[in-house]
Each structure stands twice: as C-alpha cells, then as structure tokens.
C-alpha cells in the first residue's frame, strides 16, 4: 500500500509538470502562428526608411516655407482704423502700442442741384502715409459749400483756406483724406467726418511722432 501511494504521488507530480509545460507552450505556438502572418521584416525596414525620408523632406520644405514667411515679417509700426467702432490702433507686429477713439466718415450722402454727389465714407483698404504736416490748413472742398447751401467759390479763392480746424498735425493719406485733429472732440467715437479720420490732440501727437512717411494704414 505504501509503495502504491508513492507511485501515485510521483504520477501526480509528473502530471503537474506536464500541464505546466503544455500551458506555457500553448501561447508560444499561437504567437509563432501570428508571426507567420506578419509583414516580412525587410518590408518593414523599407517602410521605415521611406517614412524617415518623407519626414525629412517635409521638415526641409516646412523650414524653407517658415524662412520665406519670416523674411516677409518686419518690425515696422502700422495704423489700423476700425470704422465700425471708430477706433484707431497703432501696432507693431502683434503688439498694440496705442488705441485711440476717433471719428470716421459719416456714411451720409449729399447731392448738388447739378447732380454732383458725395458719399462721406472713410477710404477702405490698404493706404500709406504719404506726408506729414504741422499746423495743417484746410482747403475747403466744393461739398463743404454745397452742404451749407453756399455758392461754390472759384478753385483758388482765398476763402477756401481755413486755419486751425485740423489740429496741430496731419498725416496725409491721399485723395484729400487725412488723419488729423479736430475741434469737435465731443464727437470722437462717432461717424461725423467727411471721410478723414479725426483724432484727439494727445493721440495725434503720439501718432505724428511715431509714424514715418510710408507707414502703412489699414482702414476697414
């Protein structure tokens, strides 16, 4: 009986060993099967090499593009006028150097008996400072007389010359438009001009001292 018991114990440990071996071998045989369905390693190597080349080429192209865009950047100041909210900002790159409450075109329309008409809107788009003036003089245009139901004088009539209504400084934008001062400071922040951009005295001085001829002005 004792011998039989010992034989049984030996068999039990053998069975245990066998089951351990089988359970350990089983997943291995499955992974071997999986491997046989995998992409050949040479193909993988080739694919990785191709990806590396593609990434390098893209990096080079992007570097070139970034460089090209950087060359177009500059550190110049520029003026932006928001005619809807009557705000002017002096900017350099992404930075705002000055924000001013201004007056812009009244968006009103007048018509003369002869049929001549005017629409008072600030000039939209990309403009440049074409000139800078100290103590600017206003040469009254025809519409100013039409607006007040006055007879329009001759072109060189000295009556057209009006002093001290445009403030101390003016930045010339072309076609008769300017960024200038105003006597009507109460109206700043509204659409009250005939197309020019009116600015308060302090802000005008900063603008005059900061911008150069050629400075870009974007009006929208």
Partner 1 sequence: MVFHRREHTKTAAVFLIMMSAFLFGMQGESPEDIERRKLVDQQAALSERIASLNHEQEYLLLQKAFYASDSKYLLIDLPSRTGMLKYRNRVLRTFTFTTTAGMHPVPRNTVLKVTAKADGKEQKRVLLFGDTLLIQSKRSSIVSGNEKRAPRILVGSKDFAALYYAVEQGTMLYTGK
31 or 156: CB nearest partner 1: 31
- Residue 132 DSSP SS3: strand
Q: Which residues bind partner 1 (CB under 8 A)?
A: 3, 6, 10, 13-14, 17, 21, 24-25, 28, 35, 38, 41, 44-45, 47-48, 51-52, 54-55, 58-59, 61-62, 65-66, 68-69, 72-74, 78, 80, 82-85, 91, 93-94, 126, 216, 218, 220
- CA proximity to 76, closest of 196, 212, 207: 212
Burial of 211 (0-12, 13-18, 19+ CB in 10 A): buried
**Closest to partner 1 by CB, 51 or 109:** 51
The nearer residue to partner 1, 6 or 183, going by C-beta atoms, is 6
Smallest separation, CB 72 to partner 1 (Å)? 6
Please state whether beta strands 95-105 and 109-111 pair in parallel, antiparallel, or not at all (unpaired): unpaired
Nearer to partner 1, 68 or 154 (CB): 68
200: buried, middle or exposed (CB in 10 Å: 19+, 13-18, 0-12)? middle
Q: Are 160 and 113 in contact (CB under 8 A)?
A: no
**Closest approach of Cβ 176 to partner 1, in Å?**
23
Task: State the nearest-atom distance from the C-beta of 62 to partner 1, in Å.
Answer: 5
Output the smallest distance, CB 3 to partner 1, in A.
Answer: 7
Closer residue to partner 1 (CB): 61 or 117: 61
Quote the CA–CA distance of 47 and 68 in Å, as a whole number. Answer: 32
Minimal distance, residue 139 CB to partner 1, in Å: 30
Question: Can you tell me which residue has the tokens 């600015």?
Answer: 199
- For partner 1, the closer CB: 86 or 146: 86
Q: Which residues pair with 126 in a beta bridge?
A: 218
Torsion of CA 56, 61, 66, 71, to 10 degrees: 130
| Tokens encoding 170 | 């003016």
Residues forming a β-bridge with 95: 92
Show the tokens assigned to 165: 């209504």
Find the shortest distance in angstroms from Cβ 38 to partner 1.
7
């Amino acid at each position: 009986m004792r011998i039989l018991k010992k034989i049984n114990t030996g068999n039990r440990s053998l069975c245990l060993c066998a089951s351990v071996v089988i359970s350990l071998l089983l997943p291995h045989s499955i992974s071997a099967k999986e491997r046989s369905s995998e992409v050949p390693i040479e193909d993988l190597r080739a694919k990785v090499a191709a990806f590396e080349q593609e990434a390098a080429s893209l990096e080079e192209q992007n570097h070139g593009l970034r460089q090209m865009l950087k060359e177009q950047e500059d550190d110049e100041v520029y003026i932006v006028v928001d005619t809807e909210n009557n705000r002017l900002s002096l900017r350099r790159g992404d930075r705002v150097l000055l924000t001013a409450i201004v007056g812009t075109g009244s968006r009103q329309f007048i018509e003369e008996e002869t049929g001549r008409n005017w629409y008072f809107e600030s000039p939209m788009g990309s403009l440049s400072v074409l000139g800078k003036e100290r103590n600017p003089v206003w040469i009254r245009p025809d519409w100013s007389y039409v607006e007040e139901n006055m007879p329009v004088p001759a072109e060189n009539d000295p009556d057209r010359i009006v002093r001290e209504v445009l403030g101390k400084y003016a930045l010339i934008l072309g076609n008769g438009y300017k960024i200038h001062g105003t006597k009507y400071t109460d109206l700043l922040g509204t659409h009250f001009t005939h197309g020019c951009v009116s600015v308060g005295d302090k802000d005008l001085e900063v603008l005059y001292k900061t911008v150069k001829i050629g400075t870009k002005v974007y009006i929208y």
